[in-house]
Structure 1
Amino acid sequence: MEYVELARAESERGELVLRDRREADGASVLELRVNGIFVMDSAEVSSEQALAEAALARVAQPRDVLVGGLGLGYTVHAVTADRRVERCTVVEVEEALVGWMRDGTVPHGPSVLADDRVRVVVAELGSAVAEARDEGFDLVLLDVDNGPHFLVHDGNARLYRTDFVRQTRRIIRPGGAMAVWSMDRAADVLDALESVFDEVEAVPCPVRLQERDETYWLLVGTVAP
C-alpha cells in the first residue's frame, strides 16, 4: 500500500494526521491517525452506521441529537439520514479536524456539514455537556473512542464514569437516551448507566471489519417518558 499525507496538525493532545491510503486494487481510502495510532478510515464505516441506527431506534422522537465526536462525519451522516432528527449538535475537540471537514480536505466533509440541521461545536465533550441546558436533547451519542478500554486519549476516561453519565442524564428529555459505543460489553459503563438511568440495555451490534465479523456493543441508558 502507498500513503500520501493530506493534512497534519498539532494540539495539546498530540498529533493528528489525515492521509490517503492507496490500496492494492487502486482504491483510495481516507485514514485518520492520532499520535500515530489508527483511529478510523473511509473503507470501514459499518460501525458508525450501526451506532446511529441502533441508538435512533430506541427513541420515539429523536428531534434533538447530540453526537460526541465528529471523526470523518459518518456517524453524523447516519444520524441526519433519519428525517425525525430536526437538530444535530456535534461536539469535536480537534479544531483542525473540523476545518478539514469544512474546507474539503475530507472530500465528503462539506456536504455532511452543509445540512442546515447540523451544528458543530469545537470543545471538549465534558465541558460542552456541563454547559448545556437542562433536558435539551432527546439522544446523546458517545462516539469519541471505541469504548472505555480503547481510548483515543487517556483524558477521555472520565467520559465513561458515573459523574459524566449523571451530567449527561441532566440534559436528556423524558423518553430520551444516552448511547455509548464500545468494542466490548463494558461492565463499568453499564454500572454507571444503571446508577443514573431508568432502564439500561447492552445491545450487540454485528459489524463487518477488514473481512471479518465483529460484535461491537451499544450501551444504552433510557429516561422514562
Structure 2
Amino acid sequence: MEYVEIARAETERGELVLRERRAEHAPAVLELRANGVFVMDTLQTSTEQALAEAALAQVEEPRAVVVGGLGLGFTMHEVLRDSRVEKCAVVEIEQPLVDWMRDGTVPHGPALLADERVHIVVADIAVALAEATPASYDLVLLDVDNGPGYLVHDANAALYRAPFLTTARAALRPGGVLVIWSADKAPELEQEMRTVFGEAHGYGHDVLLQDREEQYWLYAARVPSDT
C-alpha cells in the first residue's frame, strides 16, 4: 500500500491532510485525515448515505436541510439526490477543505458544489445554528467527526450535550428531525437527545471498512409536530 499526499493545511484546530491510498490492481482511494485521525475516504461511503437516508425518510417534506460537516461531500450528495430538497446548507469549519472541494483538488467536488440548492457556510456548526432563523429547517444532519467517543477535536464534545442539542432543536420546524452519526454506540448521547426532544432513537448500521466489519450508529430525535 502506498500513500501519496495530495494536499495539506494547518488551521487553528490543527493539521488537515488529503491523501491517496494506492494499491496494485485497485483504484486509488482518496482519504481525509484531521490531526492524524481518519475522518473518511472515497471507498466506504455507506455511512454517509445511511445518515442522509435515515433523516430524509423521517420527514414528509424535507425542503430545507442543514448538513453539519462537509467532509468529502457524500452526505450532501445523498441529500441532493432527493428531489424534495429545495435548500441544503452545508456548515464546514475548515476553509481549506471547502477550497479543495471547489478547486477540484477533490475531483468530484466542483460538480457537487455546482448544485444551485447548495449553500456553503464556513463556520462552527454551533455558531451557525445559533444564528439561524428559529424553526427554519426540516432536517439537521450532524457528521462533524466520529461521534462523542472518538472526537476529531476535543471542543466537539459540546456538540453532543444538551445546550447545543437545544440550539439544534430551535432551528428545526415542528416535525423536524436531528440525526447524528457516531462511530460507536453512544447511550449518553441518546439520553441527552431524549432530554431535549422528549424522545430519541439509536440505529445500528453494519459496514465493511477496509476489510473490517464495523457497526456505526445513527441517533435521531424529532421536534413534536404540535410544538
Deviations 1:111-141 (A, max 9, x none): 1111111110000111111111100100000
Cα distance in 1 for partners of 2:47, 2:224 equals: 27
Unaligned 5+ runs, structure 1? none
**1:9 maps to amino acid:** A
* 1:158 alignment counterpart: 158
Deviation at 1:25, TM superposition (A): 2.0
* 1:83 alignment counterpart: 83
Query: What is the DSSP-based 3-state SS (H/G/I as helix, E as strand, rest coil) of the residue aligned with 1:196?
Result: helix
Query: What is the DSSP-based 3-state SS (H/G/I as helix, E as strand, rest coil) of the residue aligned with 2:58?
Result: coil
Query: What is the DSSP-based 3-state SS (H/G/I as helix, E as strand, rest coil) of the residue aligned with 1:17?
Result: strand
* 1:11 alignment counterpart: 11
8 Å CA contact retained: 2:39, 2:146: no
Query: What is the DSSP-based 3-state SS (H/G/I as helix, E as strand, rest coil) of the residue aligned with 1:27?
Result: coil
Cα distance in 2 for partners of 1:132, 1:24 equals: 48
* 1:146 alignment counterpart: 146
8 Å CA contact retained: 1:204, 1:218: yes
* 1:195 alignment counterpart: 195
Greater mean alpha carbon deviation, residues 91-100 or residues 3-12 = 3-12
Deviation at 1:215, TM superposition (A): 2.0
Greater mean alpha carbon deviation, residues 15-24 or residues 97-106 = 15-24
**2:68 maps to amino acid:** G
8 Å CA contact retained: 1:50, 1:207: no
* 1:210 alignment counterpart: 210
* 2:104 alignment counterpart: 104
Greater mean alpha carbon deviation, residues 121-130 or residues 201-210 = 201-210
Q: TM-score, normalised by structure 2?
A: 0.96
Evaluate the alpha carbon distance shift between residue 203 and residue 26 of structure 1 in structure 2; reply closer, same or farther with a 3 A threshold.
closer
* 1:93 alignment counterpart: 93
Unaligned 5+ runs, structure 2? none
Pair 1:169-2:169 in alignment: yes
Deviations 1:153-205 (A, max 9, x none): 11100000000001110010011110110122211111111111143111222
Cα distance in 1 for partners of 2:202, 2:35 equals: 31
Query: What is the DSSP-based 3-state SS (H/G/I as helix, E as strand, rest coil) of the residue aligned with 1:144?
Result: coil
Percent of aligned positions with the same letter in both sequences?
58
Cα distance in 2 for partners of 1:209, 1:15 equals: 24
Q: TM-score, normalised by structure 1?
A: 0.97
**2:69 maps to amino acid:** G
Q: How many residue pairs align between the two structures?
A: 225
Deviation at 1:33, TM superposition (A): 1.1
Deviation at 1:35, TM superposition (A): 1.6
* 2:39 alignment counterpart: 39
Cα distance in 2 for partners of 1:184, 1:41 equals: 18
**2:208 maps to amino acid:** R
8 Å CA contact retained: 1:179, 1:219: yes
Cα distance in 2 for partners of 1:37, 1:145 equals: 10
Query: What is the DSSP-based 3-state SS (H/G/I as helix, E as strand, rest coil) of the residue aligned with 1:65?
Result: strand
